[in-house]
Amino acid sequence: MNGIKIRGTGRCVPEKAVTNDDLARIVDTNDEWITTRTGIRTRRHCTVETHTDLCVKAARDALERAGVRPDEIGACIVATVSPDTLVPSAACRLQAALGLPKDILCFDLNAACTGFLFALHTMECLLNSSPRKYGLVVGAEALSRLIDWEDRSTCILFGDGAGAAVVECREGWPAAPAVLGCRGDDALLRVAGPGTGEPPLIRMDGTKVFKFAVETVPQCMDQVLQKAGLTVDDVDFFVFHQANARIIDLAVRKYRIPPEKYYKNIADYGNTSAASIPLVLSELQEQGKVAPGSRVLVVGFGGGLTWGGMLIEFA
């Protein structure tokens, strides 16, 4: 199977910033408590913006940076748990807004915070059977719609945003080393769907999810490195799902990753689920911290339970 590389990235976040002090007016919490336990100082919440608005802006920026026209896209996947509508999908809405070809696959993918990685691997498979060799992968969330404002343990965590990547599939490129997994569990992290009688709000056992993440992140890293035949020193940059700064710090210490080879933006955006990883990738590319040929090890984990690691390159 031919592999994919990232050609261009883009992002979009809502205008409204919600600080820890803002949340302290709603629930019993404070800035110091939130910052020391999560690393989050602010997050963005949609007001006038829709989920589709975020997707469109991020995707357009990624197409422009990649130098790829909409009619060259061979498939479109939006990783999300919070679209504007279940039908039509966020990907179909994006297709209409961008004028993507009508003879391509456009669909949403729900793997929670690991969604962008699942979508990248799926896109690699799709482009191998497509005459068009560029794919559009978006991670986007409007999680503020799913927040229980009476639950101080979860309402402080989540934000809205979107990140997008245009990827290219070319003959002769090796398949991107990936490790993906799932373990069905609706007790640790759950959002109820229609007909359940439950409100569609985020329910999470934070302590157990933290433990799951701390165990899963190094396992994913080890397996991806082994699959790629590389060591930590061979990787140019490490991108972790931005769920909790302490989870990232533990991984950094364990693998002795130098400061110039990893990045955190959780202080500014909070946990944006499927948008988390592409938001980081977009900022890295814009700041020139990754460039053509850069090898980036990406790790995600989330509800499902799901997890994944992937070694991706920039074209």
Integer Cα distance of 23 and 31 in angstroms: 9
Is residue 113 flagged as an active site residue? yes
Integer Cα distance of 9 and 281 in angstroms: 7
Out of 113, 155, 169, 220, the active site residue is: 113
Is residue 106 flagged as an active site residue? no
Pull the structure tokens for residue 281.
Answer: 């990738």
Is residue 241 flagged as an active site residue? yes
Integer Cα distance of 224 and 280 in angstroms: 20
Integer Cα distance of 106 and 132 in angstroms: 14
Integer Cα distance of 265 and 168 in angstroms: 26
Integer Cα distance of 154 and 169 in angstroms: 39
| Cβ neighbours of residue 80 closer than 8 Å, sequence gap 6 or more | 51, 90, 108, 109, 110, 115, 138, 139, 140, 141, 273, 274
Indicate which residues carry an active-site annotation: 113, 241, 271
